[in-house]
Amino acid sequence: MKAIARILLMLVVAVLIVGGAFFFGFAVSRAVVQGNAPAPVTASANAPLSNDTPPEFKQDMPVFWEAWQIINNNFYKQPIDQEKMTYGAVGGMVDSLGDVHTAFVDPQRAAYLQQQLQGSFEGIGATVEMVNGRLTIIAPIKGTPADQAGLQAGDVILQVDDTLIQNMDVMQAISLIRGPKGTDVHLKVQRGTQPAFDVTITRNTINVPEVTAKMLEDDSIAYVELSEFGDKAPTELRKALVEALAKNPKALIFDLRGNPGGYLHIAIQVASEFIDQDQVVLIEKFKNGDQKLYKTEGGGVATKIPLVLLVNEGSASASEILAASLRDHKRAVIVGQKTFGKGSVQTTHQLSDQSQLRVTIANFYSPDDITINHVGVTPDVEIPDPTDFERSRGVDPQLQKAIDMIKNGDIQKPASTGKSSQLITPHVAAPVGETGLLQDLREWLAFNFFTPRVHA
């Protein structure tokens, strides 16, 4: 392990020197620096370096510590932010691996992402996005303090308490708006061309629904949307499916558009609602050639109803696991656009300062051993995403295509095995390999790329 650590840390040196090491503020634990970095002192450029380099690194990588000391001793702006420099250095080390999903996440972002997957946080309850440097409300969450205060989609938050919000990192802005339940936050808001106005909102616990459901076409078609594969998804999905199926619809539309993924074990549970027991959901392949099969758990309530799956380029990771599995088992007709193409698995390592190091450990493949990484899942029926003009008028060509196919009788019931004669081209059989249970619930499948829309 020491040899591996030395090799990895040597990669830091070049990145640190050229200064290209600040991607998303990624970093490593403070412990690395606090235990080994020299205190900043005033010295000339020609001052001799100290002998503070840890003994285990003297032979293999003295350059890193030489560079660290030179910067601390000579950089003209003092004091130097040691944490930021550490985060930048290790961010560069991780970035040098060339895998966008192996990433260091600083404590602030790590806390946000954890709350996102848990489905609740304390704040005002609005989905926001940085648009041209302006913190813009995409929509208030129904029933939350932001909704009750009258905030609207398109409102721009100009100021939070005494801090102006412009060209700010979205996570920094979110940290100002969120806060303990029962406390107040003062916002200055711009609405269109109207004069800016002030509003005071009392923060509360915000529960973000992961599932929304409704009936279409006079209750003849059930529609269920899953926003992410977080902790609440299985319970909310089961409830929505039971309520929808009680109305005896002729078919179900399951919407994964814009769903960036989530937990691996949640993806298996969701797949188990639609596919019969003991069917392969994905194949996980590791660098040493080993592979592991993940199978459905049984007990699904929607294994027999005709199914249409909606996807687009925002459907990633766990969404693609489900889409590929439904395709290979001929369980659904897929409508929309090709998915994102994230077919890798990460383990998350919690570091001493609550930051996280996420390391890609494997790629996953569909039940028929078809790659997903950098390829995605191509729909059976490709329909472009709605244009801005169509969205503004509530027109959804992808959803309408699914409705039309159901009404025309193009979607058939699945066979009892989970296979059917729907519009899916058969693929080669999955390879024989070692089966396994869900042994590590800390494997992640998404949120290693950051969606610009977040909850405040």
Place of tokens 């519009």: 423
CA distances from 134 to 150, 311, 340 (A): 19, 29, 27
Q: What residues contact 3, with CB distance under 8 A and at least 6 apart?
A: none
Asked if 315 and 368 touch (Cβ cutoff 8 Å), the reply is no
Q: Which two tokens stand for residue 243?
A: 């309520």
Instruction: Look at the chain and count its residues.
Output: 456
Q: What is the DSSP letter of 217?
A: T
- Residues with a catalytic annotation lie at 317, 328, 342
- Greatest Cα pair distance in the chain: 82
CA distances from 67 to 10, 13, 27, 334 (A): 12, 7, 17, 54
Asked if 62 and 22 touch (Cβ cutoff 8 Å), the reply is no
Q: Which two tokens stand for residue 282?
A: 């994905």
Asked if 203 and 123 touch (Cβ cutoff 8 Å), the reply is yes
DSSP-assigned beta bridge partners for residue 12: none
Asked if 309 and 256 touch (Cβ cutoff 8 Å), the reply is yes
Three-state DSSP at 148 gives helix
**Separation between Cα atoms, residue 258 and residue 446, nearest integer Å:** 12
Q: Which two tokens stand for residue 68?
A: 């660290």
Q: What residues contact 56, with CB distance under 8 A and at least 6 apart?
A: 2, 6
